[in-house]
Structure 1
Amino acid sequence: MSARSWWLMIAVGLGILLNPLNSSMISVAMPSLQNVFHLDLTSVSWIIFSFYIASSIAQPVMGKASDLFGRRKIFLSGIIVAFLASLLAPFSPNFSWLIVFRIVQSIGTSMMVGVGMAIIRIHITEKQATALSVLSIFLSGAAAIGPFIGGMLIHWWHWPAIFFVNIPVMLASFLLAWRTIPKDEPQASHTRNMSFRTCMELIDAVGILLFTVGLVALLVGLLSAKSSGHLTLQNVIISLTGIVALGAFVRHELQIKSPFIPLRAFAKYPAMTRVNVEFMLVNILYYSLFFGIPSYLQVVRHVSEFQTGLLMLSLGLCSLVTSPIAGRWIDKSGPRPALLMSAILMTGGSVWLVTLNQTSPVISVCLALAAFGISNGLNNVGMQAALFQSCPKEIIGVASGLFNTSRYLGTILSSLLISIVMGGHFSFIGFRMLGIILTLLALSLVLMSRRRQKVVQLQA
């Protein structure tokens, strides 16, 4: 592989790591943001909801946009958008403005993730597997060390530092990308003489709008009812608006030729549907722990942000170490044994959380973090392999898009679960209840994994 190819990988890698880095650093910042802006847990959770909702919409949209306007332009534009958001977010006059900048940051980083892999596939023709594995290290490594970096930055420089830390990374990525990413011309048939209406139909603007309105309205209705402690007419109307919008979204997606989320693929390939459902459950489990443990340590056990980041490092390191081992295991035995082991580990980690009490050594949470970290390493490889097995090659692009959608939905639902269980403030009783719910979810994954193994054995 040439030196130019390596520099291209580094340029793209520095760009795409910003999305998982910023989505993971925030987990340690939640208690600080609650104190600074005088919010309850339900309200501050929108710093998580907003990022993942925006990412789930922006990534597939930017993939389409790159065909229209060129991948190099979209990647460089993403760096600029994310740079401006990261620069302005620390100066937010209130929490609402912080949410706005967080959404803009998510869109900018999603522009890079959405086209980064495509740039590597197109412009690096030798040792593509090596190139893609290097990018995977950027993605998984950023998510793994995000809580540690966030904890360290908040401990020494307070919460604005988790935005400022992006700036040197973005500058380096922009300069390298400007020099190394080849210019690509957009497809002439798509861009010349295209009307605004045609462009909106191509990206399915109506579907995006219905999906966004439905999801946000439903979350606002549910969380408002939980935060106030009683159901009001306004909560009911907002929730019903969300349900109606999501229903209209489903109907719309089934009728058009180029849907934002191709729902027909779920009905046509049931095995792929099962993989996506399991992946969504896996992410509910993983991110409930990922976002729940930092608040438990800081609010309930009064651990500092720096120490919280150190403890959370065990989650990421176990995931990173496990991933290459999982790859070799899955190459030999297929994904099913690894996914069953992952579900068992998640069950064990969830049970361990339930056994903790208010006098348990704080370092004991590392056992649960290690169990979930190892299971995450198994899932990163196993679920992707199961996806490839469950769908035909001709729709692998669509399948990958649905797969990422399942990831984001699981992450959003994990934040919703924490907000509903905890209410306005994080407590030990709520944390134990969360552990019980996670145990039940993990047990359901064990049963699903065992059932899948039996089906495969009967088919063989």
Structure 2
Amino acid sequence: MHVSIAGEVATAGTPGLRVVRRPRRGLIFAIVSIALFMASMDQTIVATALPALEKDLHTGVNWTGWTISVYALGQVIAMPMAGKISDMYGRKKVFMISAAIFTVASLCCGFASNMPMLLVPRFIQALGGGAFMPSATGIVSDHFGEQRDRAVGMFTSIFPIGGLVGPVAGGLFVSYWSWRGIFLVNVPIGIVLIAATAKFIPASARRPSSRIDVTGVALLAAMLVPAMFGITYLGSGQVPLYSPVFLGCEAVAIFFGLLFVRHSRTDAAPFVPYRLLSGRGFGVMNLINFLFGAAALGFGALVPLYAQQRYGIAPLGAGTLLTARAVGMIAVAGLATMALRRTGYRLPMVAGFLILVAGLIMMAAPPWFSMAQLPVQAWLAFGAAVTGLGMGLSVPSANNASLQLAPEQVAAIAGLRGMFRQAGSITAVSVTTAVIARSAHPGMAQAHVFLVFAALLLLTLPLMRLVPEHRGGW
């Protein structure tokens, strides 16, 4: 006999009554969604504050851009490592520690008095935020069984919500209070998240694993930091392309990049397994995720700055452009997720990337490209919404592509996916802010960069034939 009582299943047999607890999956999804919301909100909320940071902290746009880049850098480092650590020590424990780190670091960011004092806790905040996705993916995978592909796909709807709230909140804080509020708002949300996780998410089993690869983490950081610094330095004044500092930094980055790849091939338990870097299906998805991160995530972080510098739109109005993009994503992400088992992965990725390209061209071209007599802000919002439609259509399939190749390593693969996307975003933001700093017409320079992003996405289309195709559950 089976008796269902308040989310539990009681099975009665001859030896007695055995109660098997079944956690409430909807509540678990809601809790991890709060974390993803926080992490996604912080990717966009700071974008509206770059001019305010530049003025208040007495620095240039190429250095205030580090508030975006260093956040992405922390996520690059944290995502693959968090996947392995959550396997070793349990998803719930890693998830709670990540939330605590994110919350405390946000508090420190809110009281920073200069750029170094902001960037250090911002990097630590990113470590906590970067660990959310792998541990959350693992928690959902553990509790959703045969529905886990759809649950993971629905994460695509969470990020746009953060993207929708972030720019508006950032514009409100900058317009009516201070840029400090964009960090302090995370503190009460983080406290609620920690308490809810402790009470409602069941402890997850530990999985046997090897040591943590500190050497691999160090090599990855040693590759990315000098690359970012060199590009940022290039944007400081009229520094020539043959500057010894710039060339030296990029040479160091290449050197450590080669060491990182060699380490992944030869180490017994590498930070990023070489099979997940270049193995069948994984290699092409890593490249696509890098280019997508550069074109879509890097573009999104720079939209408010573009609106302010090219058209003089106020911070609150500039922030609503990312809100329009988020609305576009939400409009189709749920439908795209539900249709995955019919469409497979390749078709929605191709269609979504083409729509995203169209939106990028629209954003770069107004007002002369518009045949309609629309105000500039309305045309920009329309273009941003089109880019959101493209992202909402393509990201659910991109999130799931390759997961079914190694479902036992779902957390590690999710972390690696995020690592490549954020690495692309770092590259795009660093290069773009350097170009803006050196340009006599920053707004037009950024418009040209958007066209380069569109070209990058078009270059990914031939790679779609190599994307691991799959229909049905996994």
Q: TM-score, normalised by structure 2?
A: 0.83
Please report how far the alpha carbon of residue 24 of structure 1 lies from its aligned counterpart in structure 2 after TM superposition.
1.7
1:381 aligned partner? 396
Amino acid corresponding to residue 349 of structure 2 in structure 1: L
Partner of residue 297, structure 2? 287
| Contact 2:75–2:419, Cα closer than 8 Å, also in 1 | no
Alignment-derived partner of residue 223 in structure 2: 214
Gap runs ≥5 in structure 2:
1-5, 8-22, 369-373
Decide whether the 8 Å contact of 2:309 with 2:443 is kept in 1. Answer: no
Contact 1:267 1:273 in 2 (8 A): yes
Select 1:440's aligned residue among 421, 434, 455: 455
Cα distance in 1 between the residues matched to 2:26 and 2:349: 33
1:196 alignment counterpart = none
Q: CA deviation at 1:328?
A: 4.4
Structure 1 residue 54 displacement after superposition: 0.8
Deviates more, 1:213-222 or 1:107-116: 107-116
Contact 2:235 2:435 in 1 (8 A): no
Aligned to 1:428: 443
Partners of 1:130 and 1:326 lie apart in 2 by 10
The 1:310–1:338 alpha-carbon spacing in structure 2 relative to 1, beyond 3 Å, is same
- Cα deviation digits, residues 157-193 of structure 1 (max 9, x gap): 2211111111121121122112123345756x77xxx
Secondary structure in structure 2 of the residue aligned to 1:202 = coil
C-alpha RMSD over aligned residues: 3.0
Correspondent of 2:129 among 109, 118, 130: 109
Distance 1:251 1:309, change over 3 A: same
Cα drift, residue 256 of structure 1: 0.8
How far apart are 1:336 and its partner, in Å?
2.6
1:175 to 171, 174, 195: 195
State how far apart, in whole Å, the 2-side matches of 1:265 and 1:296 are: 36
Cα offset, 1:212, TM superposition: 0.1
Find the aligned partners of 2:377 and 2:454 in 1 and give their Cα distance: 20
Report the CA distance between 1:135 and its aligned residue. Answer: 5.1
Aligned to 2:213: 204
Q: 2:172 aligns with which of 142, 152, 155?
A: 152
Cα deviation 1:174-223 (Å, max 9, x = unaligned): 22112123345756x77xxxxxxxxxx71110010011011101221232
Residue 333 of structure 2 corresponds to which residue in structure 1?
323
Amino acid at match of 1:427: P
Single out whichever of 348-357 and 78-87 deviates more from structure 2.
348-357
Letter in 1 for 2:418: N
2:284 aligns to what? 274
Distance in 1 of aligned mates of 2:388 and 2:218: 36
Aligned equivalent of 2:95, options 75, 87, 95:
75
Structure with more of its chain in helix, by fraction: 1
The answer to whether structure 1 residue 407 and structure 2 residue 421 are counterparts is yes
Which position in structure 1 is the counterpart of 2:355?
Answer: 345
Size of the alignment, in residue pairs? 441
Letter in 1 for 2:37: L
Contact kept, 8 Å, 1:262 with 1:398, in 2: the verdict is: no
Identity across the alignment (%): 20
| 1:333-360 CA-partner distances (Å, limit 9, x unpaired) | 3333322222322232233234325996
> 308, 314, 339: which is aligned to 1:298?
308
TM-score normalised to the size of structure 1?
Answer: 0.86
1:386 shift after superposition: 3.8
> Match of 1:215, as an amino acid?
L
Cα contact 1:144–1:319 (8 A) shared by 2: no
Aligned-residue offset at 1:435: 3.1
SS of the residue aligned with 2:318?
helix
Which one-letter code corresponds to 1:218 in the other structure? A
Partner of 1:197: none
Offset at residue 330 of structure 1 (A): 3.9
Contact kept, 8 Å, 2:83 with 2:411, in 1: the verdict is: no
Tell me the equivalent position of 1:194.
Answer: none
Write the letter of the residue equivalent to 1:251: R
